[in-house]
């Protein structure tokens, strides 16, 4: 995605993270970034600098919880949705799908106006 596409990405990061966590249950940061990269065939690269503030905000909002687990001698922080987070994910995905449909209609060429009516 072109750098100008970053503005679209910023507005959808919460939705992306919530959706991934509803599907996978529990994920850590690198796993989230790789999942986004794979699912978009490399079109969307989610940086840690963009991801972690979103994860922290979702945690502050009570939408996800964290669990630190030692893996190969290092702590790995896993993120899991709370029941409220699951509800928010469903709502945000639904809202985004509606938004995409509206944008499709908006971006279609306008029908030609007929003269004489």
To the nearest whole number, what is the mean pLDDT of the chain?
Answer: 86
Query: CA 110 to CA 76: how far, in whole Å?
Result: 51
Residue 47 reports pLDDT greater than 90: no
Mean pLDDT of 57-76: 92
Lookup: tokens for 15: 């939705």
Mean pLDDT of 37-47: 88
Per residue in 76-98, pLDDT tens?
Answer: 999 999 999 999 999 998 988 89
- Residue 62: which residues within 8 A CB-CB, separation 6 or more? 82, 84, 85
Residue 112 reports pLDDT greater than 90: no
Query: CA 5 to CA 11: how far, in whole Å?
Result: 10
Contact 67, 77 (CB under 8 A): yes
* pLDDT (0 to 100) of residue 1: 45
Domains of the chain with CATH codes? 3-96 (1.10.10.10)
* pLDDT (0 to 100) of residue 110: 73
């Amino acid at each position: 995605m072109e750098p100008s596409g970053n503005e679209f990405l910023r507005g959808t990061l919460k939705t992306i993270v919530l959706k991934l966590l509803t599907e996978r249950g529990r994920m850590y940061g690198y796993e989230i970034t790789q999942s986004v990269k794979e699912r978009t065939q490399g079109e969307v690269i989610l940086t840690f600098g963009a991801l972690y503030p979103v994860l922290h905000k979702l945690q502050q909002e009570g939408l996800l919880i964290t669990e630190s687990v030692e893996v190969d001698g290092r702590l790995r922080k896993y993120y899991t949705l709370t029941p409220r987070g699951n509800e928010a994910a469903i709502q945000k995905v639904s809202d985004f799908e509606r938004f995409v449909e509206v944008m499709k209609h908006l971006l279609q060429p306008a029908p030609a106006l007929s003269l004489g009516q």
